[in-house]
Amino acid sequence: MSKPVVLIAEELSPATLEALGPDFETRSCNGADRGELLEAIKDVDAILVRSATKVDAEAIAAAKNLKVIARAGVGLDNVDVPAATQAGVMVVNAPTSNIVSAAELAIALLLSVARKIPAAHGSLKAGEWKRSKFTGAELFEKTVGVVGLGRIGVLVAQRLSGFGMKVLAYDPYVQAGRAAQIGARLVPLDELLAEADFITIHLPKTPETVGLIGEEALRKVKPSVRIVNAARGGIIDEKALYDAIVDGRVAGAGIDVWAKEPTTDSPLMTLEQVVGVPHLGASTDEAQERAGIAVAKSVRLALAGELVPDAVNVQGGVIAEDVRPGIPLTEKLGRILSGLTGAVPQSLDVEIRGEIAEQDVRVLELAALRGLFADVVEEAVTYVNAPVLAKERGLETRLVTERTSPDYRNLVTLRATAADGTQTSVSGTLTGPKQVEKIVAVDGLDVEVVPTDHMLFLRYEDRPGMVGVIGKHLGEAGVNIAGMQVARAAQGGEALVALTVDSAVPAKVLEGIVSEIGATSGRVVDLD
């Protein structure tokens, strides 16, 4: 069997290939060369890029086997995420790989602007000794305004506190208590602009943040303020910043990111008060190595069809630690439900009850779909294409959450409804300190079964001798029973028996059992 093909479209650290390991065929191309990229991407399973390769809808359409796009870095400006999602292609990045490097660069720019280091360096190299010309400003006991308290903003705030600075912060999505934990006081943007001696930007680029620091904002700052942008180009209006510096309304700026990149002719670079660098936030050996290793691990998981925590088009947020153990359980419940119904239902309800319902549990809906289709379709089912498969088959899904759970701390129930209205359900939970997986109900009948590789579910009229008949048939076939649970709603009514066995149950053996006990249904579920 041929190995999955991984295309390396840009230069990555050697540690990236080491992290991929020997299980893949790796190829290389110049991703910045459009023609070369479109030819090279045709038959690959994954592509690893940095910032120079544009993986747009055209490239994704050309890649018939593509399953994952991995960006060895934080930003995804060069990847068409909606087109990838539509095609069932997972997009991953390395969201924490460069946070230390970016934070340190922001501080380096801030210090460089405050102490006029680049200009002084240039003067000295030119043979000048003009100390008085380069008198700067201290950070100690000054006020810094941190605009954006994400991962990088927090690191910057913590480090600048060590300089003895008073830290103000603006972030509409952060609570005041969280800011206080890192020694920052959360304030409105206007207050930050008016009080800060230094301002450093750490926001994502969105329609709301583009031009946020523009003409109006720059008329509210102190004339002694120094501004740093090491986040995303365009958040600061570059023309407005140029005008403010020329007019003496802003003392200086440090810029790592630009509205248009690459750029070498920005008017800002004509000003001695500006320190500009060519987007170096992630440009450290350590950050590149972390990014390469992180996305290589993600590619391994993605091509194995496993959950990738850093997938940006799968679940929409960090998966809570309390939710993670429920993912494999929910997948198993999906496979069991598929085995019990024997067909793709018309609708599927994923019901989450208990403490975890307070978390973002959308990933459990994806896990249920992945399990439901795992034994139904020929192609590998992933957390990206599972919703696509559901849509193609007209399966409507609904996620239901309820914080109260009368019988269990947490309970996951999958409820399938067929076209004729028939419902089938299976419920599971995790028990004890070791979080043991257990099936606790089938169609509302209570059982307690640890899911194993081979299971058998039978429905029949409750009467004496049935368990013996089942045991006889399995024994004659050499199938050992590992566990058995019998459930019934009432004596003499319909009974359900759930068995875990050590090996697969042959179809003829199942037919014999169903025939002799008069079972209304008999289903084998194999999870191996």
Residues recognised as catalytic: 232, 261, 279
CA distance 50 to 282: 11
Place of tokens 């606790």: 440
DSSP state of 74: S
> Is the distance from CB of 230 to CB of 199 less than 8 angstroms?
no
CA distance 387 to 58: 22
CA distance 482 to 428: 19
DSSP H helical segments within 393-523, as ranges?
Answer: 466-476, 507-517
Contacts of 172 (CB under 8 A, 6+ apart): none
Rounded to the nearest 5°, which phi and psi values hold at 469? -65, -45
Buried b (16+ CB within 10 A) or exposed e, 456-469: bbbbbebeeebeee
HSE (side-chain half, CA atoms, 13 Å) at 256 = 24
CB-based burial label for 433 (10 Å; 0-12, 13-18, 19+):
exposed
> Is the distance from CB of 67 to CB of 302 less than 8 angstroms?
yes
State whether residue 367 is helix, strand or coil: helix
Three-state secondary structure string covering 416-482: EECCCCCEEEEEEEEECCCCEEEEEEECCEEEEECCCCEEEEEEEECCCCHHHHHHHHHHHCCCCEE
State whether residue 90 is helix, strand or coil: strand
For residue 34, give the H/E element and its range.
Answer: helix 34-40
DSSP state of 416: E
CA distance 349 to 416: 6
Question: How does strand 494-501 pair with strand 454-461?
Answer: antiparallel
DSSP state of 133: G
Question: How does strand 184-186 pair with strand 198-201?
Answer: unpaired
Name the nearest CA neighbour of 527 among 431, 452, 421, 416.
452
What value, to the nearest 5°, has the Cα angle with vertex 378 and ends 372 and 380? 70
Q: What share of the chain is helix, strand, coil (3-state, %, to 5)?
A: 35, 25, 40
CA distance 499 to 455: 6
